[in-house]
Each structure stands twice: as structure tokens, then as C-alpha cells.
A and B are shown apart, each in its own frame.
Chain A
Amino acid sequence: MAEMVKKTVRDKTGFNVVDFLKKHSVTTIFIIICIAGIIIADQPPFFLVSQILERISRNSFLVLALIIPVVAGMGLNFAIIIGAMAGQIAIIVAANFRIAGPAGLLFVMALSVPLAIVFGILVGRLLNKTRGQEMITSMIVGFFANGLYQFVFLFLAGAVIPIAYTQMLIPGGRGIRNTVDLSGLNKVNDFGLTTDGLKYSMDGLWKMGIINILFICALIATIYAIIVFFNQPITRALKLKEDGFLYNIITPDVVYYSKRKQTVKIVFWLVLLIFAYLVEYRGFGPEELKAIRMIKFPLVTGAVIALVALFNNVITSTKIGQDFRTVGHDQHVAKVSGINVERVRVIAIVISMILAAWGQIILLQNVGVLNTYGSHMQIGMFSVAALLVGGASVTKATNKQALLGVLLFHTLFIVSPTAGKNLFGDPQIGEFFRAFVAYGVISLSLGLYAWKRAMSKTEI
């Protein structure tokens, strides 16, 4: 109750800048580093925007795979690299039987699911035995599984496991090559879609210019904002009459909008709409903007990312989603209220593993080359770092934080080598700096969380 009063008071006094910065310190620092990096690197905007968009379409799915274990109180699931291995195993099987194209992609995604489920159950059980140390366990179990993965594909493949597609094998007939090419030759469209390769089998389905996408999005948003604006009197009337009760039932998730805020929204989207229209259809703006117009974004991949974000949201209102929250909040309370805590935790990890497998498949169809023994290794650390950069913590992570984190983290990734070169004359410094930032963000976030937890324990 006291908390609610506090909240309303703060709302009345308005936006508190210091509080905001304190709360989002990691994200704020990162935004500053990114802006400084962009300025120092001084790369052409076309290059920067196209690289960032490619990396967003490539990595967002994997970062979104981390959210459910966080909700279930299991912290950051570094073991998503095992999910990524499931995806890679499915890709190797598909490459072996020469299954490719969009149908091949569906086959790969389907095949990775049973693998991910089995791996998820095993890892979930292990994490049930190591409560309180889930994150270090998930990290070490990733290393452990990597050893087994190498054993299977370096020593058993070709010798014990028959491989039909011998070009994939190391000369000598034992072990899969370091790199497996996923590109095909039979081109279907201009976006790189082929019938005999997995490369671009999702990205190549449908692409659209990014300014055009902006135009359509702004159009929809404007219309929506206008509808909400004119609906205000109705909802307000209902709110007054029934003391907010009926209003809450009719539109349970819609927050109460103030008229002024809504006007600002309409104006914002309208300006964006006109801007996009002028650039896209009237050729307005400088040369660089026209170049950016040529950048195309894979719509199907974008839709899939949106779907998984939606899934993360929808699941919280289901029974199992409520269980995730309860278990994440307090395992003892959950147990007392009749929830099978162990099972719920295993399910959370299984879902994360399946999403990680799909995420890795989406990443690899974009990259076009499977680095058999390396593609999965960096995934865990990079995804976790991206999520934390977006402002997430060990106990709280949202889709928005994930997507913002991907944007910021990968911006830093693109600019840091060039920035390092411009600043110190050595691109290596930039590379080490970004590794330092990735590790440092994880260590800082985990440390701050543990600090808070230790403080609250001593208070009790």
C-alpha cells in the first residue's frame, strides 16, 4: 500500500532524472559509449545501419530465448549454447541428407526440437541439483557438453556414425570439417533464396526497404493512436461511473492514457509518417539517406522475432507462466501452494533450449557458413551480455530490454575495432575493449545483484 502511494506521488511530481539514471545506469553508460564509438569510428551511415540491422535480425531471437529462465528465477541461462548445439546437430543432419531451401529450414527447426527437449531436461535436472549456483553451473555444463559435441563430430562422425555427404568430412573420412558451407546454387529470387541451400532460407523469403517498413509502421501506429484518442471519452466515462471497475474488465491491459500524452504520440507518429513518405516516395533528403533507403530488412525473420517476443508475453498469463513467476519469486511459497517446483524449472529450461536451437538456426541461415566447432561457443556470453546491456537483471528481463540490448551491444561490436584504430592506431585495442565491456557488463550486473541479495539477507 505504501508503495502505491509512493508511486502516485512520484507520478505527480513528474519525471525524476536522477532516479531514472540510477535505475538504468548500465544502459545509460552503454548508450554514451555507443554514441562516442559511432562518432570516433566515423563510418559511413549506410555501412553502420545495414550492419546493425543485419545483426539485430540475426541475434535477437537468441537473446529472447534467455527471458523465461530469468522469470523462473534461474538467472541467466549460459547453457543456451547447448540449445545452439541442438540446432547445429539438426543442420548437420540436414546437410548430410541434402535437405535445403525453406522446406529444409522447417525440417531443421522441427528436428532440433526433440534434441533440445532432451538436452533441456538433462540440464534442468542438473540445475535442480545446484540451486543457488545455477549460472556458474549452466556455464560449466556448456563447456562440458562442448567436449561431448566435439567427440561426436570429430571422432564418431564418419567412423561410427555413417555420413552420406562425404564432402562434409575431413579428408581421411573421420570427423566433420571445421566449416560446412550452407549456401546453394539454384537461385529463386534476388534476396539470395535458393532451393539447394539453407543460406537465407528464412531471410530471403521476403525483404523490404527499411524506410518503407518505417512508413507502414508509422501509418499503423498513427491510425492506432488516433483511435485511442477518440476512445478516451468513452473509457473515461466508464471509469468514472463504475469507479474504474468496468473499465478494467473491458480493457484489462490498456493503461489509462492522458489526452495530452496521446496528442504528443499522434504528432510524433505523424511526423515520422510524413518523413518516411517523403524519403521513400519523393526522394527527399541527402545522398546518404537515399543510400540507407536501399537497405532491406528480412520481414519473415522480423515477424518470427516478434512472434517469440509475443510468446514470452502471452505465456506469463497462462497457468505455467504464473507458475514460472511464483517459482521465480519464492520457491518455498511455490512449493507450499502446491506447485511442482522442480518440474516448472525444468520446463523453463526446456523452452529456453528450444528457442536457443531455433535462434541458432536463424543465425546460421543468415551467416551461411556453419563453423562446426565454433559457431555455438560465443552465443551464451554475447546473448547474456546483450540482455544485461538492455537493462535486464538476474531476476527481471523483458522483451524490450532484450531488443534494446541487442541494438546497443551490436552497435558497440561494429564500431569498436574502427574506433580503436582511429583512437590508438590499433584495431586490436577496440576488439579487446569490446571483449572487456562484454565480460565487464556481465560481471558488474551479476555483482550488483549479488550485492543487493547479500544486503537484504543481512537485514533479515
Chain B
Amino acid sequence: MMLKIAYFYPDELNLYGDTGNVEVFQTRASLRGFDTEVLYITSTTQITPALMSGVNLVFMGGGPDSGQKHMYQDLITNKGPFLRDYILQGGVGLYICGSYQLLGNYYKTADATVIEGLGILDFYTQHFGQAKPRCVGNMVCTISPALQQNQLFTAVNTLGTKLVGFENHGGRTYLSPTITPLALVLTGHGNNSEDNTEGLLFKNTIGTYFHGPFLSKNAHIADFLIAAALRVAKLPAIDHTLESFIKSAHESLVFKYS
């Protein structure tokens, strides 16, 4: 069985160790004996059905303003249609920070310019400029009931009900009531620092403000996405010191920051 990862915009959208998530997917799959392949999709890549055939996992990171300006038009014009179909048909993917924001309807900047999003999912993001502080810091969340009760997640979950990591964003995201958040904030800001939600969960799509190598500390989410991508009901345990370090790191960070 092959985990085929399409990594979108690795040059522009890799602000702070976001690439680590792809490393986590690859390592956790290969330690279990699955083959892996990474397809790098850049702003010059032509998306064709032949190229994307067999892709069962999509990853997109977050970028600095300059990086996002660079890939924005290509995303909307050339990659958008593929991502729309992929996400709506239940394709498995993780979208971090800037790329999470772009899945929504729009991003309103501090000077009220409206940047169109892909409009795949019903939410928007707004930057309030000086009026509201930037959301920066360690964050701890409780995984939303919808995911906690998900059968596949329950089958692969070895870490419990918390998420931990770092967020650093100026935009604040507001989900429509029809969209399920990924988690509920215990400490930190999450989507907007107001309604307690963090990220989103739609079919097999996860969007989140946990930036950088989010999955390195949250192996349960990594395993959920891997299992969903491979369409297996459970995953063999990984017999490696790595697992005990992950468990200790996850628990100690949850303890330290909540």
C-alpha cells in the first residue's frame, strides 16, 4: 500500500518547519511497512489527472506574506479546481495557517481589502490591524467531540484527547455554524480568540492554526490522516523509542502550557 503525498507549494508555504509534517507522514508510514512517495507541487506544476492519480494525502503549510503573494494567483486559477473536488469528495488533507485561511470565502486585510479565498468551505478570516493583538504563543486544545467519537480516530489514537503546539497569526477566522471545529481552545487563541474554536474538520480535511511541525507533537492526528488516506480501519503499533519520546513530549507540553 502506498501513501502518496501531494505537498503543495513547498517553497512558498514553509514558514517555520511546516515541512516536518511531511517527514512525520513519511516516517510513520514507512516504520509500519507502507511505501511512501512525495509529489512536490510548485507554482509551475500543471495539475493533470495523470499526475494526481494515486494521491491520497494533500499537505499545504503556511507562508510569509511574500510567499503567499507569490503563489496566490496560481492557487486560485490553476490548483483551485482540483482542491475543490478533492476536498468535497472526502480527500484526506492537512492545511496549516495561511493555506487553511485560503480554503475559506475570503481574507479581509487590516485596510479592508478583500482577498478572495477558494470558497470551498464556509468561513472567512479578518485581520483587525492594531485593533486586536496578533495571536502568538503555545496553545493547548481539546479535540472536538466529532473527532473524538470518530471510529477511525478512536482506533488509531494513542495520545488521548488533547492537541498541543504553537500558533502565530494575525488573521482571525470565523467558521459558519455548519462547520465543525477541529478542537476547542484550553489555552491560546485558536481561530479568533473569541468563540473558543480552533481549526476545522470537514470530512477528511483538517485546517489548523497550529503551525510548523504540528504533527510531530500530535501523532494521533498524523495516524488518523494516514489511516484515512490508506483506507485502513486500524494501524499496526510502531515499536520504536520514538513513540515513548512522543508520548512524553506531548504529555509534558500539555501539562506545561494548560
A-B complex is real: no
